[in-house]
Amino acid sequence: MGTNEYRLGNGGFAAQLGCKQSNYGNGLLYNLPPEAGDGWIVDIQPASGLFVTTARFTLLQPITRVYDIAPMGMWLCLLEYGEITIIEKGKKARRLQKGIHLLTHRGQPVKISFNTAEPIHYTSVLVFDDFVTTYVKDRPFEQPFTLKDTLTWRSPQYNTPELVMVLQQIKYAVWDAVVPRVYYEGKVIEILILILRNVQQEGYWRKLEGGGVRLSYENKIDVLLVKDELDRNLLNPPTIKQLTGIAKMGTTKLRQCFKLCYGVSISDYVQQEKMKQAMRLLPHDDMSICSIARAMGYKSASKFAAAFKKVHNITPRDFRKSFMG
């Protein structure tokens, strides 16, 4: 027997945790019982086939939820803290890192494990095919779009600073609890449009590849190792010489291969990832902007502000104000 996320959202998961349900603005609040841990999940259903969720909880024991959803659906999740692992049949288990992750439900059971290593904080949208179909039906898209297209999306197309910002806005709207439901519909459509734009830009990068550098499978694996090393050491990134040693290729080829894989230079990638981290810190007023600048490796708040505006097209102060009111 399948699970019914289409109708219940996180209601089934909350029941598995033994949560107490109550109304919360225009959504539902699920509080964890003491025997399961501490924290909460908030679900809002803005329209048929659409749920937005923000969650903060700590578990006493690991828990695995088996999702067996009949309708096709897309789960897009911004993970800020915590250890979550996705297990799909025939695929290697995927432990999620901080950032945005995509899972498309195709009628096959999927396991998601939530661990106890640290508190779990995430914001997500669950979009079913009928919501997308209803939206695109009377609108002229340059290319037809259905949720099946999400199966071809790659991380650089949706794990971007712009989408982090939109999901953060959704999170704070859920916390506010009184934002009209149509707001969430607009934000989810914004997410889809931004990703579709990024996908369409792939043609540009393919032209670059056709004009010079060819990426073999081995090249892509080596560049992924470089990216992983950068992700582990964003505040003190390896030198280009160290990175060429990891990739086993020359400086020029590494720079070209990295840009073909991720659409940005190595230095711009490091700066963008730093600014993603800064974006997650700014909504919390327990850290000053100067402190965040130092945490990101900037000696002055002005240089940090210039870098942040270059990436996000907004100053850190104005970004903070947009959440604090």
Q: What is the 3-state secondary structure (H, E, C) of the chain?
A: CCCCHHHHCCHHHHHHHCCEEEEECCEEEEECCCCCEEEEEEEEEEECCEEEEEEEEEECCCEEEEECCCCCEEEEEEEEECCEEEEECCCCCEECCCEEEEEEECCCCEEEEECCCCCEEEEEEEEEHHHHHHHHCCCCCCCCCCHHHHHHCCHHHHCCHHHHHHHHHHHHHHHHCCCCHHHHHHHHHHHHHHHHHHHHCHHHHHHHHHCCCCCCHHHHHHHHHHHHHHHHCCCCCCCHHHHHHHHCCCHHHHHHHHHHHHCCCHHHHHHHHHHHHHHHHCCCCCCCHHHHHHHCCCCCHHHHHHHHHHHHCCCHHHHHHHHHC
Radius of gyration, alpha carbons of the chain: 21
What is the per-residue pLDDT for 56? Answer: 96
- What is the Cα–Cα distance from 119 to 58, expressed in whole angstroms? 5
- Enter the pTM of the model: 0.71
Q: Indicate the residue type of 176.
A: D
pLDDT digits (tens, 9 = 90+) for 7-57: 999 999 999 999 999 999 999 999 999 999 999 999 999 999 999 999 999
pLDDT in tens, 166-206: 998 999 899 888 899 999 999 999 999 889 888 876 555 55
For 13-23, letters b (16+ CB in 10 Å) and e give bbeebebeeee
**Location of structure tokens 């009209």:** 180
d(C-alpha 172, C-alpha 182), whole Å: 15
Show the tokens assigned to 204. Answer: 């540009």
* Tokens of residue 114, six digits: 């939530």
Question: Can you say whether residue 90 is alpha, beta or left, with left for phi > 0 and alpha for psi between -120 and 50 degrees?
Answer: left
Cross-sheet strand order for the sheet of 94-95: 63-67, 110-114, 84-88, 94-95
Q: Who has greater pLDDT, 32 or 211? A: 32
pLDDT digits 0-9 by tens, 79-132 = 999 999 999 988 899 999 888 999 998 888 999 999 998 999 999 999 999 898
Amino acid at 199: V
Q: Give the burial class of 9: count Cβ atoms within 10 A of its Cβ; 0-12 exposed, 13-18 middle, 19 or more buried.
A: buried
Task: Look at the alpha carbons of 312, 318, 321, 322 in this order and tell me if their dihedral is positive or negative.
Answer: negative
pLDDT of 214: 65
222-240 per-position pLDDT tens digit? 888 999 899 888 888 999 9
The pair of three-digit structure tokens given for residue 124, joined into one six-digit string: 């997500």
